[in-house]
Amino acid sequence: MKIERLAIPEVLLLEPKRFGDERGFFSEVWKRKPLADLGVDVDFVQDNHSLSAERGVVRGLHYQRAPSAQSKLIRVVRGAILDVAVDVRAGSPTFGRHVSAVLSAANWRQVYVPRGFAHGFCTLEPNTEVIYKVDAYYDPAADAGILWNDPALGIDWPLDAENAILSAKDRIAPRLADIPPPFTY
């Protein structure tokens, strides 16, 4: 498995190997040891699976407040997304900055997003399916988010706000400057 640190080094881009033949392929998509060797030791407790029927669906930017904060490992099994992680840790040298990567069924890449980051994605193709592991269970009382197109974040989303397909919750999320920092570095 190839692992690369992104511009915010806590966020990792993983590229599992695929071994193919005339039958199809085999891939080890998650293996604890390669990440543990980098100092990332997570105990995933739940897998989530989403289907977005249209291109331009934006999900995020989401996080869960402590004590229910989550690390995530995101991958695409059909279609493609622009995946985004925003550092929301007060005192971090990268607070308010983001990293992004295109994840697709074709490129087989994954992104590891640690606790202390808001996460979201935009579908680049219709009928995109995303599977992601989390290391804490969903807690409605800890659920929170940041406005996906907060201008202060400078995220270069592949669509205009008028064309984004959003949940009601994501449409009214606050800007980062309007909330107390949810995590400390």
- Give yes or no: 63 in active site: no
What is the per-residue pLDDT for 85? 98
What is the per-residue pLDDT for 72? 98
What are 61-70's pLDDT values in tens digits? Answer: 999 999 999 9
173, 147 contact by CB (below 8 A) = yes
Q: Which whole number is the average pLDDT over 5-20? A: 96
87, 97 contact by CB (below 8 A) = yes
Give the whole-number percent of the chain exceeding pLDDT 70. Answer: 100
Mean pLDDT of the chain: 96
Contacts of 157 (CB under 8 A, 6+ apart): 58, 82, 122, 148, 149, 164
Q: Is residue 39 part of a domain?
A: no
- Residue 57: exposed, middle, or buried by beta-carbon count in 10 A (0-12, 13-18, 19+)? buried
CATH number at residue 157: 2.60.120.10
Q: Is residue 30 part of a domain?
A: no
What is the per-residue pLDDT for 114? 98
137, 68 contact by CB (below 8 A) = yes
**What is the rounded distance in angstroms from the CA atom of residue 84 to the CA atom of residue 7?**
12
Q: Is residue 180 part of a domain?
A: yes
Q: Is residue 33 part of a domain?
A: no
Question: Full-prediction pTM beyond 0.85?
Answer: yes
Beta-sheet strand order (sheet of 98-104): 98-104, 80-87, 117-123, 58-64, 143-145
Q: Is residue 8 part of a domain?
A: no
Q: Is residue 13 part of a domain?
A: no
What is the per-residue pLDDT for 42? 95
What is the per-residue pLDDT for 184? 95
Q: Which whole number is the average pLDDT over 18-28? A: 94
What is the per-residue pLDDT for 77? 98
- The residues facing 132 across adjacent strands are 48, 74
* Confidence at 128, pLDDT banded by 50, 70, 90: very high
Please give the DSSP secondary-structure letter assigned to residue 34. H
Give the whole-number percent of the chain exceeding pLDDT 90. Answer: 98
174, 80 contact by CB (below 8 A) = no
Candidate list 62, 63, 112, 119, residue with the active-site label? 62
Q: Is residue 24 part of a domain?
A: no
Q: Is residue 1 part of a domain?
A: no
Q: How many domains does the chain have?
A: 1
110, 34 contact by CB (below 8 A) = no
* Confidence at 141, pLDDT banded by 50, 70, 90: very high
Q: Which whole number is the average pLDDT over 25-52? A: 94
**What is the rounded distance in angstroms from the CA atom of residue 180 to the CA atom of residue 28?**
39
Candidate list 63, 112, 119, 132, residue with the active-site label? 132
What are 89-109's pLDDT values in tens digits? Answer: 999 999 999 999 999 999 999
Q: Which amino acid is at 34?
A: P
- Give yes or no: 119 in active site: no
Domain housing 135:
44-184
